[in-house]
Structure 1
């Protein structure tokens, strides 16, 4: 792994731990702060909304600044935010600290993915982004289970204190390893960044990202009570299942990066179809502990097969000004996180049992399949004026006013 990408991966490990560890601590937090578990679950929603709303604000505010100082600053923001999470005296201040922390999330992954892609040859860009996201998936293998175990043993505040330490390491790694002459903002500045948002494929990719995340978090937010109440696992065993979920994410991330460098949209569509089937199978056979554990592993694998392809699709489609679009795509993932957590919570409130909750995820994943198929169909229908198919991802202009979707060429990522 190139050292600059390693630095980004360390930071993404910290960010991933911050985002996901709260899932394993919901009951601890709810008990300690005197709120219901469903209200504690909204800490997931609040973080996701912080990402969604903070991403464009931070991206636009930093559009004219050099990339390295921005990345260092965003990593430092996570240190400060997690410190305030650790000392929050009540639920609402904890929520405020989570939202503040989340403001740097989307911008970091958006700008970081553009930087990572710029450090490698064009046909390796998806793999480079996958390497950066490896820190996020490793957080689910190491950070989240370790953080959950630490929280069970010493209280949930100890988990956030540990994340502060990891965050300080990530700040130092970026400052030391990322070159000062790394890719700079696009020449057109903020205007160029905003202009690329007129491209249809950018918005379709973000919609797929939002629906994919919603399908995950409609169920994953409540995976601990699902596994204990439906599958019959002990609380201690759930920690190991979360570890297995993280292992699946890591493997899926590697596979997704390589497949995206080969066949981008077929990778996305195929993984989404398999997710729909997996949710249905989880509904039918989730009462069996062994089957549920295996499906959680496959679930983690499939969700991260999709992430690198969607991120590089946005970066390539918005090549004239990729930072804002790539950041918004991270916001789209987290709009899905928030929406999925809320949809899952509303379904439970309306009387849907934990056993039937995977069907909610299946419906959302199916909607993502439909949008992905539509996106690819629009690409295939578009041809150049000479009748030949376009061979580049994104949108170009057939004339001064009429946009034309370009077709992705295998190998470009």
Structure 2
């Protein structure tokens, strides 16, 4: 029971951190109005958070690699608490920008260490399933955290949203101090330089590119969901919070369905899901004036958007088997890079491009590019397997060939 409580405390922390990242989508207009900046400028707060996780997070992880894990994650959670409080008290937009950037540094390194701690609590052979439970904290942030944070912001002001996140994270910090054992020490690992060599492989580069391109389109829509739903579809701010809840429910269902599909046909299902997602985004461009259809499409977007993530993660781990831990971190950075690009792109579409509604159409085009890269990666796999089959001599052990054919059929 003690080990389960440790994981639960980490789930609470993951929930708090992820809510702090995604809640911006619901309170973006209020921040822009209160601080006297444009919506595109407010959208760059997402870019600040993402950039901190992409660049500063890995760097801080390397610098703290030899620290004992328990005091390290406690310190990082304290940084997150203070960062959210600073966000709540920020008198100007530049101060809020810096506060979000600082908060993201603690968030990224915390995630990396939380995975290690969760794995260390698991019984032999159960590490993967235990670590996967941390993802529930992220799903819960989508289903409950972001809508609740939006509700708080709409009724009490966006500053109170960050106060609530700080309180939730502080509770997680107290549970970590109480439950996580002091035996969580840093462990020696292989050279970072040696692990980085695996990223010279074209298949690994393609897998990471698929994560970035496959998510950038939907993230552009998600970041600007509030203005899209209010200005284009005519929903009130209170309904946006409910729609974010609907999106989160769809995301949770899509995550499980996508994992099931990826286990059976990894690349075909990924390509197909991305193409369906692109079609759904294009459809929203057409029907976005209808509140009823848009509400249904929000659920569908959540389901389709998160259905591709398990396959993307599996793809990265498969191609970078020599450095799986580093691959997970880099894959997360690719997702954050997509978020940063999405925030910038959406702002450009609004301020200098064809306008807010066109975000749907541009996002569909980006998603098609992600599907195309996935198709190219799949063709590379099939060609490599075909070459291997032709190079196998008739006298060789046929069991390897049969297994290879079977794996190719699964993909």
CA 1:109 to 1:312, structure 2 compared with 1: closer, same or farther past 3 Å? farther
CA 1:116 to 1:290, structure 2 compared with 1: closer, same or farther past 3 Å? farther
Aligned pair partner of 1:369 in 362, 371, 375: 371
- Residue equivalent to 1:265: 267
CA 1:243 to 1:14, structure 2 compared with 1: closer, same or farther past 3 Å? same
Question: Residue deviations 1:74-110, cap 9 Å, x none?
Answer: 4333222212212212110110010111123344445
Aligned pair partner of 2:289 in 264, 287, 290: 287
Q: Is the 8 A contact 1:188 1:321 kept in 2?
A: no
Q: Is the 8 A contact 1:129 1:312 kept in 2?
A: no
CA 1:297 to 1:99, structure 2 compared with 1: closer, same or farther past 3 Å? same
Q: Distance in 1 between matches of 2:261 and 2:188?
A: 28
Aligned pair partner of 2:347 in 345, 348, 361: 345
Q: Distance in 2 between matches of 1:228 and 1:285?
A: 14
- Residue equivalent to 2:397: none
1:230 equivalent to 2:232? Answer yes
| Deviation of the 1:160 alpha carbon | 0.7
| 1:192-207 matches, cutoff 5 A | 192-207=194-209
SS of residue in 1 equivalent to 2:23 = helix
| Deviation of the 1:377 alpha carbon | 2.2
- Residue equivalent to 1:99: 101
- Residue equivalent to 1:253: 255
CA 1:257 to 1:376, structure 2 compared with 1: closer, same or farther past 3 Å? same
Q: Distance in 1 between matches of 2:204 and 2:402?
A: 17
- Is the radius of gyration larger for structure 1 or structure 2? 2
CA 1:326 to 1:217, structure 2 compared with 1: closer, same or farther past 3 Å? same
SS of residue in 2 equivalent to 1:25 = helix
- Residue equivalent to 2:380: 378
- Residue equivalent to 2:148: 146
Q: Distance in 2 between matches of 1:111 and 1:252?
A: 27
Q: Distance in 2 between matches of 1:255 and 1:115?
A: 28
- Residue equivalent to 1:9: 11
| Deviation of the 1:11 alpha carbon | 2.0
CA 1:261 to 1:165, structure 2 compared with 1: closer, same or farther past 3 Å? farther
| Deviation of the 1:198 alpha carbon | 2.5
Q: Is the 8 A contact 1:192 1:320 kept in 2?
A: no
| 1:4-403 matches, cutoff 5 A | 4-65=6-67, 70-113=72-115, 119=122, 125=128, 130-175=132-177, 185=187, 187-383=189-385, 384=388, 386=392
SS of residue in 1 equivalent to 2:276 = helix
Q: Is the 8 A contact 1:231 1:292 kept in 2?
A: yes
SS of residue in 2 equivalent to 1:382 = helix
Query: What's the TM-score once normalised by structure 2's chain length?
Result: 0.85
Query: What's the TM-score once normalised by structure 1's chain length?
Result: 0.85
Question: Residue deviations 1:105-153, cap 9 Å, x none?
Answer: 344445545665774787994x655532221121122111111111122
Q: Is the 8 A contact 2:278 2:368 kept in 1?
A: yes
Name the one with the larger helix percent: 2
Q: Is the 8 A contact 2:40 2:346 kept in 1?
A: no
| Deviation of the 1:194 alpha carbon | 2.3
Q: Distance in 2 between matches of 1:259 and 1:114?
A: 27
| Deviation of the 1:245 alpha carbon | 0.9
Q: Distance in 1 between matches of 2:142 and 2:267?
A: 26
- Residue equivalent to 2:396: none
| Deviation of the 1:359 alpha carbon | 0.7
Q: Distance in 1 between matches of 2:381 and 2:187?
A: 28
Of 281-290 and 204-213, deviating more is 204-213
Q: Is the 8 A contact 1:382 1:389 kept in 2?
A: no
